[in-house]
Structure 1
């Protein structure tokens, strides 16, 4: 009886049923998909590179945006494995809704606000501090949209606490997230902005501007945390990234960008 294995193999390859690698080889794991708060953009760029060295072969795709918008998307089962939020309440709400694994819920940092101007700005930020918002050159003031961005809510709270909100309100311009807010000030669409310290410490903004840290007592704690989604396609890689984020190496990267887990 003739051996039909080779002709059959050729036929299957021709019609796409077999890869060139051959029968029985398992497919590579899916890419780890992370939804991350925009204030993590600089820190996670470094974190991703360090994680790749520790976990070669694991593909990681990070999408940045406002935590509130991600929460809305994840309530509709958006295709992410891991959610890193600038407000720990959003991951908690996903757990309560039965869409995330409560056993994986974790706190990773506390964010901080700064007032930021470009280096060439005529606003004497270092001398005026928060009163710089009342300087005549502060014609447009950028904050993240408080409807869905935790840093926007913190900025609004700080302005109210310091008695500046009513004076500043007519000049406010809103970024979709804190990264877009930073872009507004950096590109001249706004004159001054309330940004995340983590972005102000990123090399591009640190070289291009001047910052004044908003008093911590002026706004509620920006406790940040994450969770694995129940529909995660790459749970193993998501757990590995979470553990790396909380490791001494991960914590050191976060500290370089102004994140802290210390008490206020």
Structure 2
């Protein structure tokens, strides 16, 4: 009899554990949010006792996965197009909202004396091209892949408006997402890269890098939109609302994101 009760109790625990795990929604988030959103999620758990599971990657890849039925309940994109395209397919609850405005920076390893100033933030790219032309080396320039990463699209636009895109082709090294591009930018064989401002401000990167902001009018605005996927549960809805509240917005601003409805304030 005792043995039967033990088995029944064990079975109930497994079922309850499965239910608890099922109630933790999986969030698809642009990699520009890797550090900021992790901090927001921790604060959310402290404030509500509820958890979310964060997956970071490129917005274009998430867009394709969600369209194919991937079990994400909330999608935070680095652009608007990915969210609006999913809404047109009928897989989201609505068109979502803009939650943040991104910025692009030139990022390089710290300890060097050649950081471009903000008036000429592409000076390092131009120097790399000159070095390559003179057959004196092949300095690498990192960026996210513009085929599926919005920050990669912005980087390409910046280089195109400066008429450097064609010449930088033999020098560029592309990450699958902007977080990977930031790691490439700080590697030993790279001169630097064009990546998200939010990553440059993350403590683990800030302690070993320097950056120069790229003017916002050099590329299409990085309006970052989020949306609930159809079938999203209560916790995902609550986290979606939390992301629009004061604490979450304060954290996003501390990582250099602009906030909809407010003038941008440069992070320290």
The TM-score range, normalised by the shorter chain, is 0.7 to 0.9
5+ unaligned residues in a row in structure 1: which ranges? 1-6
Q: Indicate yes or no: 2:32 matched with 1:34.
A: no
Distance 1:38 1:46 in 2: 14
Which one of 124, 135, 159 corresponds to residue 127 of structure 2?
Answer: 135
In structure 2, the partner of 1:162 is: 162
Provide closer, same or farther for how the CA distance between residues 77 and 231 of structure 1 changes in structure 2, counting only shifts above 3 A.
farther
Is 1:203 matched with 2:195? Answer: no
**CA distances 1:208-242 after superposition (whole Å, capped 9, x unpaired):** 1111111111100011011111143xx21111111
Structure 2 residue runs of 5 or longer lacking an equivalent are 132-137
SS of the residue corresponding to residue 142 of structure 1 reads strand
Partner of 1:62: 54
Query: Which is greater in Rg?
Result: 1
Name the residue aligned to 1:99: 91
Report the counterpart of residue 194 of structure 2 in structure 1. Answer: 194
CA change 1:81–1:20 in 2 (3 A) is closer
1:1-264 aligned within 5 A? 7=1, 11=4, 13-14=6-7, 18-19=11-12, 27-28=19-20, 30-56=23-49, 58-102=50-94, 105-121=96-112, 123-126=114-117, 128-136=120-128, 139-232=139-232, 235-260=233-258, 261=260, 262=262
- Equivalenced residue count is 252
Equivalent position SS for 1:170: coil
Secondary structure class of the residue paired with 1:14? helix
Q: With structure 2 as the length reference, what TM-score do the two structures score?
A: 0.86
Task: Give yes or no for contact 2:41–2:51 (8 Å, CA) kept in 1.
Answer: no
Q: TM-score normalised to the size of structure 1?
A: 0.87
Give, in whole Å, the separation in 1 of the partners of 2:106 and 2:173.
14
Q: Is the alpha carbon distance of 1:20 and 1:100 closer, same or farther for their aligned partners in structure 2, counting shifts above 3 Å?
A: closer
* Alignment RMSD: 2.6
Q: Sort the Cα spacing of 1:102 and 1:132 in 2 relative to 1 into closer, same or farther, 3 A.
A: same
The ranges of structure 1 where at least 4 consecutive aligned residues each deviate by more than 6 angstroms after the TM superposition are: 23-26
Structure 1 residues 191, 53: closer, same or farther in 2, change over 3 A?
Answer: same
Q: Is the 8 A contact 2:115 2:212 kept in 1?
A: no
1:14 positional shift: 2.7
Q: Distance in 2 between matches of 1:223 and 1:185?
A: 24
Tell me the SS of whatever aligns to 2:12. Answer: coil
